[in-house]
């Protein structure tokens, strides 16, 4: 008798971003030159002082279990940094350090959602949100936004989506995959709807240090007095310090939630990597010049990608105020043949772009937005130049 996989796990869809990256790697392994714009991670080396801190931690013997929720110095640094930059005070006990921000999201969902609950997700949204919510037995309620509004959730659309089963709003700001960044006034309006309807909010702020031009970042729990009690903030070091592989993220939450998340994590994984925690501590408390240098380079690439998209007739994208993604509208290029292959969907378009021109992107329908393609500009300028030359040639 074979082992039967559970219905819950059978329902989980694989990550489209990782799937496209895997296809790109297959082509590379076969000897092709691939321009990979599919992966959401900085293409920079982790700053040297962070690496040095990890080596020092190992040499000092910090290679054993830590408290399940993370070492106290790291949690103190996280809450101190939040207080300094945003003016809100959290206790270290309200901070749970996890194995990456995705793990922190998983913890937050499992600690707050019950089977039958609904969680509102403004779309386009990151591919893992809905799958993680479904694992709790809750239902992700996808609320479409439009390119005309910068793919931002409006108060009216938020209010219209609420039902008696609604428990939560999940907001990613700045957004993956669109790069949109909410203003303080826009967040205030959404906060008012959440309070009126007694909902809590999970604010994924992992890209908050990567904001460009005239855009400014506002942390969600700061926009209204008392909002801190109904918001769980998700963050981490992966994007800010180019530390995706180190797997350190965290949540900041009300006392009762943080306490239960601590219990959950103690049973599931115990502590996050001890060495990575000391590296993250060095990142948060150390020299921030590498962050600013990386951001400046992303800003240059953003300008370049914006211009290249504008130069291709029929292609468009909303303003990229944050993160490092262009969410390209490819609807004008569907329903036609490419190299003799009929392409009717965004998935087909991205697959043919990869197969024929060796440019890897991610299809918009993976983010609940058919007719779009996400291109990451966390890639070298040479890669971006060659990739957009290929895209321009592909759509002619």
Task: Give me the residue spans of the domains in the chain.
Answer: 7-45+290-395, 48-285
pLDDT of residue 73: 98
Strands of the sheet with 249-252, listed across from one edge:
95-98, 249-252, 231-236, 200-204, 166-172, 118-123, 139-144
pTM for the predicted model, two decimal places = 0.96
Grouped pLDDT means (10 residues each) for the chain, 396 residues: 84 77 87 92 97 98 98 98 98 98 98 98 96 96 97 98 98 98 98 98 98 97 97 98 98 98 97 98 98 98 98 97 98 97 97 96 96 98 98 96
Q: Is 48-285 the same fold as 7-45+290-395?
A: no
- Give which of 86, 84, 107 is closest to 96, Cα–Cα: 107
The CATH code that applies to domain 48-285 is: 3.40.640.10
pLDDT of residue 40: 87
pLDDT of residue 152: 98
pLDDT of residue 91: 98
pLDDT of residue 2: 86
180: tokens are 């949109």
**Measured in whole angstroms, how far is the alpha carbon of residue 46 from the centre of its chain?**
19
Rounded to whole angstroms, what are the CA distances from 390 to 46, 277, 358, 383?
A: 30, 41, 8, 11
SS (H, E, C) 55-69: HHHHHCCCCCCCCCC
* In the chain, alpha helices (H): 7-10, 16-29, 48-59, 72-86, 101-112, 127-135, 155-161, 184-196, 255-268, 274-285, 289-311, 346-357, 381-395
Backbone angle region of 31, left / alpha / beta, with phi > 0 → left and psi within -120 to 50 → alpha:
left
pLDDT of residue 389: 98
User: At the topology level of CATH, where does 7-45+290-395 sit?
Assistant: 3.90.1150
pLDDT of residue 295: 98
């Amino acid at each position: 008798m074979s082992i039967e996989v559970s219905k819950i796990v059978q329902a989980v869809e694989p990550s489209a971003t990782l799937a496209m990256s895997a296809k790109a790697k297959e082509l590379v392994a076969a000897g092709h030159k691939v321009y990979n714009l599919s992966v959401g991670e900085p293409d920079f080396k982790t700053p040297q002082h962070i690496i040095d801190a990890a080596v020092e931690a190992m040499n000092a013997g910090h290679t054993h279990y830590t408290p399940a929720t993370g070492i106290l110095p790291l949690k103190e640094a996280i809450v101190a940094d939040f207080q300094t930059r945003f003016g809100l005070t959290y206790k270290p006990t309200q901070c749970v350090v996890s194995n990456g921000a995705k793990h922190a999201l998983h913890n937050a969902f499992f600690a707050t959602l019950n089977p039958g609950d609904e969680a509102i997700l403004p779309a386009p949204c990151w591919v893992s949100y809905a799958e993680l919510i479904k694992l709790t037995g809750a239902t992700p309620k996808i609320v479409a936004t439009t390119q005309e509004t910068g793919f931002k959730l409006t108060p009216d659309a938020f209010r219209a989506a609420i039902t008696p089963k609604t428990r939560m709003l999940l907001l990613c700001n700045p957004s993956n995959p669109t790069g949109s960044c909410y203003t303080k006034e826009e967040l205030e309006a959404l906060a008012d709807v959440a309070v009126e309807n007694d909902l809590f909010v999970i604010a994924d702020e992992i890209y908050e240090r990567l904001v460009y031009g005239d855009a400014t970042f506002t942390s969600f729990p700061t926009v209204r007095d008392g909002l801190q009690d109904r918001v769980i903030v998700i963050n981490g070091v992966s994007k800010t310090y180019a530390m995706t592989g180190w797997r350190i993220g965290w949540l900041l939450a009300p006392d009762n939630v943080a306490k239960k998340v601590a219990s959950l994590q103690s049973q599931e994984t115990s502590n996050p990597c001890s060495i990575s925690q000391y590296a993250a501590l060095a990142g948060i408390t150390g020299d921030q010049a590498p962050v600013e240098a990386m951001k400046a380079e992303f800003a240059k690439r953003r300008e370049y990608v914006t211009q290249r998209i504008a130069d291709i007739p029929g292609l468009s994208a909303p303003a990229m105020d944050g993160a490092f993604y262009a969410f390209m509208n490819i609807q004008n290029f569907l329903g036609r043949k490419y190299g003799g292959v009929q392409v009717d969907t965004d998935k087909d378009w991205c697959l043919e772009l990869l197969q024929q021109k060796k440019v890897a992107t991610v299809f918009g329908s993976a983010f609940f937005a058919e007719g779009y393609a996400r291109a990451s500009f966390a890639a070298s300028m040479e890669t971006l130049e060659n990739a957009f030359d290929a895209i321009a040639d592909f759509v002619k």
